[in-house]
Amino acid sequence: MSDLPYIPCFLGGREVPARDGFEKHDPATGRPSARVAEADADLVDQAVARARAALRGPWGATTLAERITFLERLADRLEERLDLLVSEEIADTGKPITITTQVEIPRAIANFRAFAQIAREAEEEMFDTPMAGGARARNRILRQPVGVVGIVAPWNLPLLLLTWKVAPALVCGNTIVVKSSEHSPRTALMLARIAAEAGLPDGVLNVIHGHGAGAAGGFLVAHPGVNAITFTGETRTGEAIMRAAAEGPRPVSLELGGKNPALVFGDCDLAAAIAGTTRSMFDNCGQVCLTTERVFVHRSVFGRFAEGLVAAAQNLRPGDPRAAETTLGPAISAVQRDKVLGLYAGARADGATVLTGGGALEMPAPFTEGYWVAPTLWTGLPDDAEICRREVFGPCAHLSIFDDEDEVIARANASEFGLAATVWSGDAARAERVAGRLESGTVWINCWRVRDERAPFGGFKRSGIGREGGVRSLDFYSELKTLCAYEPAR
């Protein structure tokens, strides 16, 4: 028997082991850190059955006000366990402790309070329709739960993006089966445990672990007892989920890949643009769907901007994820590291000029076998080069010169993706004009990754289907029913 910690599934309010399992590795060291339950088709079927039973139980009889109160209570309980949530997230991902403690876990917890408030403020829709003779019909729009929601969770921001889905799904009265990423199962399990401690009825929130196609993820999205599916992750996986959801058919919400551009104009605040673009390239080792991988810089400032970015990249501090001075973590897995390094090698083979980085990082013990990748900047390649088209999901970007506003907009839009973009300019009118023409679901002007929970989030083109955030999330997790009552003339 392995002496590694065991991470079970969570079904019907209790922890459940699986017949099979797999080793999970610490990304920072490369060493085995846990053994994780691998849910088979039978366990997935049990999870869905418990979720369906919970719909008919006490949860199905709750009022919106009661569910709002529960979300706020759950946020309080999670806040009490913040240090443990941070520790578990770092164990899975190798994220630096400062960003995890100050930003990601607090924002994950804040999602419950935000969606409690969004649901509280959502206006009930009523319409009066005049009819002949002075009669009228009164139309009232009701929200009812979709049913069992299957959540296929990502590994890059595990708890933050999971609660972004769980919170609105719960407040709308649904029950849930989460398939955690095989790379980040710990905080999904902790969320289910703490929710149960906070009084969530058995079976409302179930968590299974395992892999994707042909395994737990595939079993979940194909299960006929699942009424809606939401997924954040890679585009090809999203396509497979959409095919599975066609059997039913069932609604899907897909937040997929990106190859996000930044447009840096000559009149920008150069220091702010360098600092903001540094964050947007290297945050979470580049493993965020919103990161910038294409940077278009006006010729007049290209040299100074590139020099500043190189200096910023070289000032990042990889190291012990639990040390406050660390600012760069590892790739999530050996597979992801090797994919990124393969694309790095392809850029060099295509003739890219490497401004900094370009390979693996040499790390001291105990991190020598971890999945460390150098922050990397290139220039000199055409827009159709592989590194300028394909999402890397690593700490890197290609820098290009532009001369003309129309030119750079066309180049930025020449991508199969359309998730996010950033415009850096001191001319407010131009920034708004350019932002309006970019084919992206979100465009930041002189900032990056600023998100209000009430605003819609999602992508154009191959970057996804649907929107999350605010009432758009409530719409996805609700069946909208119209009650139309005839009232005769008085």
Catalytic residues: 255, 289
Q: Which residues contact 292 (CB under 8 A, 6 or more apart)?
A: 260, 261, 262, 277, 280, 281, 397, 422, 448
SS3 302: helix
Q: How far apart are CA 299 and CA 305, in angstroms?
A: 10
Angle at 413 between CA 412 and CA 417, to 5 degrees: 105
> Integer distance in angstroms from the first to the last C-alpha of the chain?
79
Q: Specify whether the CB–CB gap between 456 and 419 falls below 8 A.
A: no
Q: Give one word for 400, left, alpha or beta, with left for phi > 0 and alpha for psi -120 to 50.
A: beta
Listed in order, strand segments (DSSP E) in 367-439 are 376-379, 396-402, 417-418, 420-424
- Nearest Cα neighbor of 358 from 372, 346, 370, 374 is 374
Residue 341 backbone phi and psi in degrees, to 5: -65, -35
Closest listed residue to residue 350, CA positions, set 374, 385, 383: 385
Q: Which amino acid is at 168?
A: P
Tokens 């009430």 -> residue: 454
216-246 b/e (C-beta count within 10 Å ≥ 16 → b)? bbbbbbbbebbbbbbbbbbbebbebbbebbe
Tokens at 94, concatenated: 């190798």
Measured torsion, CA atoms of residues 163, 164, 166, 168, in degrees rounded to the nearest 10: 140
Chain centroid, CA 448 distance in Å: 15
